[in-house]
Amino acid sequence: MTIRIGTSGWSYDHWIGVLYERGLPAAQRLARYAAEFDTVELNGSFYRWSPDAWFARWRDQLPPGFLMAVKAPRGLTHARRLRSPEIWIERLHRGWGELGDRAGPLLVQLPPTLEADLDALDRLDHFLAVMPAAIPVAVEFRHPSWHEPAAFEVLERHAAAYVVMSGSGLPCVLRTTASFVYVRLHGPDPGALYGGSYSDDDLHWWADRVREWNAQGRNVFVYFNNDLGGNAVRNARDLKNALGLTASAPG
């Protein structure tokens, strides 16, 4: 069973001096990132789904053993709200094919305005049922009504992971519903998402949770989304150290 620690996104100018040396071309940032971490969450795909050729290019840039998780497009999750997902699923499948053995889970973040009524539960059930079995899915609930047994039962039936969250106004529910665990750490700042840096005590607490899940025979993916000021990079490094995982020297 594997443990992978990374960040949500990788190409941020405010990471210069934290992960990237000054003068490093933006096109070389992914390779520099992959020299230190073994997974990343592609979140630009949420705003604009990338052409197939881009996925192939990323595959060629990434070393063996590296996995790229991909965030589902908002056209599927926020515009359609998972209705008639087949056209999007065909595009997702092509992207996964281009990523090949560098493809990690698909992150499906539901909109905070989508409540877990019977219709929404049926849409989630249908979406997961028609997804190709080769694409592991992790679902992030943003409306509190989803944190009920019926929603977890849908995830478990389709072997989809519940996304464990940490962040301002978000419930931290340590629920597992699949053979892997997907964790998104949005930052400890109680006043704003994506802000703040996790303390050593926080990170050791998360390290204990990761060990527990891994001891259950589950693969664990952890992504830090508190990118401001380079906090995600520092926290990812520190969590790797707390877990005894090998880390490269910072750039």
Q: What whole-number distance in Å separates Cα of residue 144 and Cα of residue 231?
A: 27
More confident: 1 or 110: 110
pTM reported for the whole predicted model: 0.96
Going from the N-terminus, what domains does the chain have, and what CATH number goes with each? 3-243 (3.20.20.410)
Residue 220: the pLDDT is 98
Per-residue pLDDT of 56-82, as tens digits, reads 999 999 999 999 999 999 999 999 999
DSSP H or E segment with residue 137: strand 137-140
Residues 6+ apart with CB under 8 A from 114: 81, 120, 142, 143
**Which residue matches tokens 């050729």?**
53
In the structure, what pLDDT confidence band is assigned to residue 215 with cuts at 50, 70 and 90? very high
Residue 1: the pLDDT is 83
**What is the maximum span of the chain, computed from C-alpha positions, in angstroms?**
53
Per-residue pLDDT of 97-126, as tens digits, reads 999 999 999 999 999 999 999 999 999 999
Q: What whole-number distance in Å separates Cα of residue 121 and Cα of residue 154?
A: 8
| Residue 211 in this model has a pLDDT that exceeds 60 | yes
Share of the chain above pLDDT 70, in %: 98
